[in-house]
Structure 1
Amino acid sequence: MRAAGWLLLLLCTGTLAFALRHPPALKPSEAPQFNPLVHALDLLLPIIDFGQENAFAPRGGYQWLSYLLIPTGWVPATTIAAGVTRSLSRQ
């Protein structure tokens, strides 16, 4: 449950930051509509690709936030996956 709390906190932080300042699209004519929540999820979850991370390029401090969200999202996401797997294997 702590890992889920950390993941939710990171998701809220990323969503708020990217909602305040939208990153520019790499290819404006081909980019999907920007969604701060989905962009933060795309950075945090290591396996799922929502298409936002590769379509937009944050700059400055927001780029560093992106770099920080990627590895810090992996830890709680894999912890949650391991906990769910362990819970299901007991049953």
Structure 2
Amino acid sequence: MDSKARRAKVPQQPRMLTESERARLDEFQDLIHYSSRYSDDHFEYRHVALPKNMLKVIPKDYFDPETGTLRILLEEEWRGLGITQSLGWVHYETHST
């Protein structure tokens, strides 16, 4: 599947985490890796890498069933996972390692 198709799969409504789901993710907050910022003529970018063990406790419906990778998340969803970014940041693509 090409990256355009992955970018197109954005849900209409956020799927918020339950309290128990959120509690299981808390231990990973300090392990999330944020790249340095870089830019082109139009946008500023930053990669966010989640620890592999964190991916195991993220609810299955946060993943694309066709690719098995994290789907494009709405702001309320990625913030609920503990990802911190400045206002205006948009999740636009996913990668697996």
Instruction: Work out whether the TM-score is over 0.5.
Output: no
TM-score (norm 2): 0.29
Q: Which has the higher strand share?
A: 2
Q: Which has the larger radius of gyration?
A: 1
Q: Which has the higher helix share?
A: 1
TM-score (norm 1): 0.30
